[in-house]
Amino acid sequence: MRLKNIIIYTTVLVLLVSTIPLSNEMVQANNHDFCQHTRSGVFQDAESAGITNDNCNNQEIGYAEEFDLDLGTLSGFVKDLQMNPIENATVRAYFHGTYEEAYSDKNGYYHVTNIPLCYCLKNCTCSEDGFYSEWVLLAIQENTQYNFTLRPLTPCYPCVDPPNPTGGNGWYITPVNLSFIYDPEVVAHIVFRIDDESWQEYIEAYLIKDTCVHKFEYYWVNFQGEQSAAVSVPLAIDLEPPVITKNIQRIGWREFSILFEVLYDNCSGVDFVEFYLNDILQYTDDAAPFEWITFYRWKPGVQYHFTVKAYDSAGNVGILIIKNSDIHTYSYLPFFDERPFLHMLFILLNQIS
């Protein structure tokens, strides 16, 4: 009988305790414990774990306002499967209904700041065009380190370095380094060629440094021997500036005519040409033929210099500078070609003057 009474009293006590509402601190502690347990890997994604961007807000709203929370950081590197750095990847740390973000630099390094230090795990994501996005639940500390590895959306695609054209109008004005990012579990071989030359197997990065509009083609083969369709990628490279010439003629005792011409550009084409006298712009020519003729009278002690700047469509600039000291001893009249004695006398008189 006594044992029966103990069981009845214990049951009543349990029922009474279960009806007492928990304090906010206890509810938050339970939520925090749930967050911590989801890190065990039982859940395959953030939503099935119950951790969403809004869920973190529901747990912590009011908590961050009630307590003065310290701030932490999240930093690390973003790389592909071959451990090449990924530039401009977006890394976000979600918390309290908002987020902080940062972008990876050319070395793949990122640094997210101003993340509240609290019990809640932060849903941290990393995304970039051409890759599957990654996410991870992290307990942010004062200085948290985490490296992201992104898988490409396609098993194989080319990587151009520099990633964006270095010149204008889609042109590169630097050599281009070509490599591939691929899934080694899918891709067995990569085959490529440049400008319809022979196909060759990709082994290491390939440098293109010839001025031209190139056609880069490639395909890949999986471990079952199946071949993908060939993909063509155009690359426009112009490494050389326009060519400028000068034609100086003596037309009098101290008078000269000077003809400046931009004869050609190796690839992208001449865009416009500027002509300067003593660094003051005299004329701009934006249509062929790109030329400027001027007349010059030499005066002792007076300094002049002419400058021509030719711009091509890629952004290269050709520059030619002529000083008056280069002109007054230049190109004598054709009259003296068959009269060397008079020619020497003319030079002597010119020097005396």
The residue extents of the domains of the chain are 2-149, 156-237, 243-352
**Upstream peptide bond of 184 is cis (omega within 30 degrees of 0):** no
- How many residues can be counted in the chain? 353
Q: Identify the DSSP state of 278.
A: T
Question: Alpha-carbon distance 169 to 314, whole Å?
Answer: 6
CATH architecture of 156-237: Sandwich (2.60)
Q: Do domains 2-149 and 243-352 have the same CATH topology?
A: yes
- CATH homologous superfamily for the domain 2-149: Carboxypeptidase-like, regulatory domain (2.60.40.1120)
Indicate the residue type of 11. T
Question: Alpha-carbon distance 152 to 10, whole Å?
Answer: 60
DSSP letters along 85-151, please? B-TT-EEEEEETTEEEEEE--TTSEEEEEEEE-SSSPEEEEEE-TTB--EEEEE---TEEE--EEPP
Q: Is 283 exposed, middle or buried (CB count within 10 Å of its CB: 0-12, 13-18, 19+)?
A: middle
Cβ(206)–Cβ(177) under 8 Å?
yes
84, 130, 199, 332 from 8: Cα distances, Å: 68, 66, 87, 127
**Upstream peptide bond of 152 is cis (omega within 30 degrees of 0):** no
Full pLDDT tens readout for the chain, 353 residues: 555 555 555 555 555 544 444 444 433 333 333 333 222 233 334 443 344 444 444 444 444 444 567 899 999 999 987 788 999 999 999 998 899 999 999 999 999 999 998 888 999 999 998 888 999 999 999 999 999 999 888 888 888 888 888 998 889 999 999 999 888 889 999 999 999 899 999 999 999 988 888 999 999 999 999 999 898 888 999 998 999 998 887 777 677 788 888 877 768 889 999 999 999 999 899 888 888 888 877 777 778 889 999 999 999 999 999 887 777 655 455 544 555 555 556 555 555 55
φ/ψ of 264, rounded to 5, equals: -165, 165
Cβ(298)–Cβ(327) under 8 Å?
yes
Cβ(301)–Cβ(329) under 8 Å?
no
**CATH class given for the domain over 243-352:** mainly beta
Which ranges in the chain belong to alpha helices (H)?
A: 2-18, 24-37, 53-60, 63-66, 340-352
